[in-house]
Amino acid sequence: MWAGFTVFVLGMLALDLGVFHRKAHEVRFKEALGWSVAWVALALAFNWGVFHWFGSQRGLEFLAGYLIEKALAVDNIFVFLVLFSTFAVPPVYQHRVLFWGILGALVMRAAFILVGAALIARFHWVLYLFGAVLLVTGIKLLAQRNAEPHPERNPLVRLFRRLVPSVGEYDGPRFVMVRDRRLRPTTLLLVLVAVEATDLVFAIDSIPAVFAVTQDTFIVYTSNIFAILGLRSMYFLLAGVIERFVYLKTGLALVLVFVGVKMLVAALYVIPIAVSLAVIATVLGASVVISLAFGPPRDQPAARANAARRSPGAAPAGSAPARRGGRASPCDRPA
C-alpha cells in the first residue's frame, strides 16, 4: 500500500509538471478550478476505498484527517499571498515555486509522520504532549487571529539570506544563475526556501492534529498528502477571494483547541470519531458561512490586491524583476 500510494503520487506530480505545466504560465481560474475538483475527487475516491477495504472507522478517520489538513492548508494561502507580494514574484513563476515547495513538503511531512508514529508507539505520553501543543497553538491563534503574517522574518529564511546571499534579481524560472562564472541563487530560490520554512511551521501543528483523530500511520500519511497535493490549485482558485474568509482563522483555532482537548482527555473518555468529524465539519463550515455573510465586501479583496501590486515592495508581471537582469524589490536585498 505504501509503495503503491507513493508511485501514484509521483506519477501525478510527473504528469502535472511534465505534461500540463511544461512551460511556465500564469494559472487562470478555470484551470485552477479543474485541478481543484480533480484533487478533491481523487481524495474522495481514495476515501471510498478506505471505507470499502478497512471499514467505516478508518474511513471516517481519513475524512476527518483530510478535512483538518485541508482547512489548515487554506491558512497557508494567506501566507503565500503575502510572500509572493513581498518578493514581487511574477504570476507566471508562482506555480513553479509552489510545485517544488510542495514536493519538498511531501518529503518533510512523511519524515515527520514516521518519527511521530515511532514516538507514539514507544512513548504513549507523547500523545498528551501533542495535545498540549495543539491546545496552546489554538489559543495563540485565537488571540492573534488578526495579526499579519511575515514569512520573510522566519529564522530559516534569515539564516539562508545570511549564509547564501541572493543576487537580488530573477532570471526567468531559474533558481540559480551564472554570475562571474559562479552559480548564484536567484530571488526565486529565496522564495522557495521561504515556502519550505512556512510549511515546516504549519507541519508542526497539522500533523499532531491528525494524530488526534487516528494513530494509523497510513491514514495520517495519506490524508496529509492528499491535502497538500491540492494546495497549489487551491491557491490559484482562492487567491483573489481568500481575504473574504475573515473568520476562518477563528474556526481553525477552535478546531485545534478541540483536537487538543480530545487528546488530553483520551485517558478518561475517548470521543468517537463520528462526533469528532461532526464537530470539525460544523466549526469549519460555520466559519466559512459566517465569513461570506458578514465578511468584507466582495470588491474589497480585489482593491487590496491592486494596492499590493502598486506598493513599493511589489511589481507586476512582466516588469523588471520578471526579466533577466531586472532589479529586485527592496525586500530582496541580502541581509
pLDDT in tens, 184-205: 788 888 888 888 888 887 787 7
Each residue's pLDDT tens digit, 308-332? 433 434 443 334 444 444 444 444 4
Q: What is the pLDDT of residue 6?
A: 84
Residue 236 domain-assigned (yes or no): yes
- pLDDT value at 134 more than 60: yes
Weakest-pLDDT range from 56-60, 130-134, 324-328: 324-328
- Write down the residue that cell numbers 501590486 correspond to: 309
Pairwise pLDDT comparison (141 vs 180), residue with the higher score: 141
Each residue's pLDDT tens digit, 145-156? 666 767 667 777
Domain of 202? 2-124+146-242+317-332
Residue 306 domain-assigned (yes or no): no
Q: Could you tell me if 60 and 273 are in contact, meaning their C-beta atoms sit under 8 angstroms apart? A: yes
Q: What is the pLDDT of residue 244?
A: 76
Q: What is the pLDDT of residue 152?
A: 66
Please tell me the distance from the alpha carbon of residue 322 to that of residue 172, in angstroms, as a whole number: 6
Main-chain dihedrals φ then ψ at residue 182, nearest 5 degrees: -130, 145
Q: What is the pLDDT of residue 61?
A: 92
Weakest-pLDDT range from 25-34, 52-61, 134-143: 25-34
Which amino acid, 247?
Y
How confident is residue 298, by pLDDT bands cut at 50, 70 and 90?
A: low
| Average of per-residue pLDDT values in the chain | 78
Q: Could you tell me if 29 and 236 are in contact, meaning their C-beta atoms sit under 8 angstroms apart? A: yes
C-alpha dist (Å) from residue 191 to 92, 153, 195: 14, 12, 6
109 Rama class: left (phi>0) / alpha (psi -120 to 50) / beta: alpha
Which amino acid, 332?
D
Q: What's the whole-number mean pLDDT along residues 196-218?
A: 83
- pLDDT value at 140 more than 80: yes
Q: What is the pLDDT of residue 333?
A: 41
Residue 278 domain-assigned (yes or no): no
Cell of 74: 487554506
C-alpha dist (Å) from residue 121 to 51, 225, 238, 271: 25, 22, 39, 20
Cell of 287: 466559519
Q: What's the whole-number mean pLDDT along residues 212-238?
A: 86
Q: What is the pLDDT of residue 30?
A: 81
Please tell me the distance from the alpha carbon of residue 189 to that of residue 50, in angstroms, as a whole number: 38
How confident is residue 240, by pLDDT bands cut at 50, 70 and 90?
A: low
Strands 182-185 and 176-179: antiparallel
Residue 136 domain-assigned (yes or no): no
> Which range among 142-146, 205-209, 211-215 has the greatest average pLDDT?
211-215
Each residue's pLDDT tens digit, 67-117? 988 888 777 787 888 888 888 888 888 888 888 888 888 888 888 888 888
Q: What is the pLDDT of residue 51?
A: 92
Taking alpha carbons only, the member of 324, 328, 305 closest to residue 191 is 328
- pLDDT value at 2 more than 90: no
How many independent structural domains does the chain possess? 1
Residue 168 domain-assigned (yes or no): yes
Q: What is the pLDDT of residue 41?
A: 93
Residue 285 domain-assigned (yes or no): no
How many CB atoms lie under 10 A from the CB of residue 6? 14
C-alpha dist (Å) from residue 9 to 24, 31, 241: 22, 20, 29
- pLDDT value at 248 more than 70: yes
Q: What is the pLDDT of residue 158?
A: 79
Residue 173 domain-assigned (yes or no): yes
Q: What is the pLDDT of residue 58?
A: 92
Residue 109 domain-assigned (yes or no): yes
